[in-house]
Amino acid sequence: MIIKWFKYSSPQTFYPLAGKMIPWFAWLAAILAIAGLYVSFAIAPTDFQQGEAYRIIFVHVPAAWMSMFIYIVMAGWAAIGLGLNARLSAMMAQALAPTGAIFTFLALVTGSLWGKPMWGAWWVWDARLTSELILLFLYLGFMALQSSIDDPRRADRAGALLALVGVVNVPIIYFSVKWWNTLHQGSTINMGVAPKMAMTMLLGMLLMALAFWMYTIAAALMRVRCIMLERERSADWVKELSVGGKS
């Protein structure tokens, strides 16, 4: 069986498909999140060094993973949109950006909540914290650029180029910050040689990461549906939708 992938590359056909997919991903996200929270709060053992406060990493680490992963996916969609001149890819990139920024922010907030009992400070200029902060700036720049350009085609392409420039720069920024950090302070906790994690801890983290992943897909699809309607408001299929009242 051959699936006609390109059939769904136009907003008109993708809009109903996205509508059908959203509940699946949303329910998956909810179920995985409940399972993940149960494993991480009820089953996972208390850490003998960090006590109960370590449990924040079940939210923190997956959020940090997602924040970086979404940026790469976003840049990938942006590149496809720029290279193939595909409208929908650019819309996907635009739809992913706010979710990525939210996860970055969540990682920063949970990181500082975790840092207070562990390091005794809300904020430490640790390499990972700093590069996460810079990632937030990159997301904000992308969103600010897109929203300040009125012509959607130009906004898409300018945003795509910025995302690609960001992807090239992210490793350079990360290593420069890491090096700066090792030069300036030697006393932060090194998580690289952390004691071996219990299986249940890893399981909780993985479940939460999957839940976040599914949530991202659902949220991005919802957002991309709005973007499609807004951009294609003069197209016939949108008019039919609004007259017929069916999704």
In the complex, the residues that contact another protein under the rule CB under 8 A are 134, 137-138, 140-141, 144-145, 148-149, 154, 157-158, 161-162, 164-166, 168-169, 172-173, 176-177, 179-180, 183
Cβ nearer to another protein, comparing 82 with 88: 82
Q: Which one, 144 or 202, has the nearer CB to another protein? A: 144
Residue 81: count of CB within 10 angstroms of its CB: 23
Nearer to another protein, 125 or 237 (CB): 125
- With respect to another protein, which residue has the nearer C-beta, 162 or 201? 162
Largest Cα separation within the chain, whole Å, is 65
| Nearer to another protein among residue 178 and residue 229 (C-beta) | 178
Residue 75 near residue 162, CB atoms below 8 Å: no
CB of 97 to another protein, least distance (A): 14
Question: What tokens does 89 get?
Answer: 């890819």
Q: Is 46 helix (H, G, I), strand (E, B) or coil?
A: coil
In contact, 117 and 148? CB cutoff 8 Å: no
**Min. distance of Cβ 86 from another protein in angstroms?**
16
Q: How far is the CB of 166 from another protein (least distance, A)?
A: 8
Angstrom distance (rounded) from CA 95 to CA 223:
5
Smallest gap from residue 208 Cβ to another protein (A): 28
Backbone angles phi, psi at 51, to 5 degrees: 70, -150
Q: How far is the CB of 75 from another protein (least distance, A)?
A: 13
Strand partners, 51: 47
CB 49 within 8 A of CB 195: yes
